[in-house]
Amino acid sequence: MFLFLLWWCVDDHLAAAIGKPGLGELPIWVPAIISLAFALTLDSARKKKG
């Protein structure tokens, strides 16, 4: 979740720098799916490690 929040805060600045739409300009389900994918990936990696 922390990764998603960090990405959300920095994304608009990066998008403006390269001239592409940021996550804030996309429909809410797009960042929701991205955050779910990060959460599941990190969770499964943590379970395999520990």
pLDDT in tens, 26-43: 777 877 888 888 888 877
The percent of residues above 70 in pLDDT, for the chain, comes to 80
Phi-psi sector, 19: left (phi>0), alpha (psi -120 to 50), beta? left
Confidence band of 17 (pLDDT split at 50, 70, 90)? confident
3-state secondary structure 1-39: CHHHHHHHHHHHHHHHHHCCCCHHHCCCHHHHHHHHHHH
Predicted pLDDT at 23: 66
With CA atoms as reference, report the closest residue to 7 among 29, 27, 32. Answer: 32
C-alpha count within 13 angstroms, C-beta hemisphere, residue 45: 6
Distance CA 40, CA 37 (A): 5
Tell me if the pTM is above 0.75: no
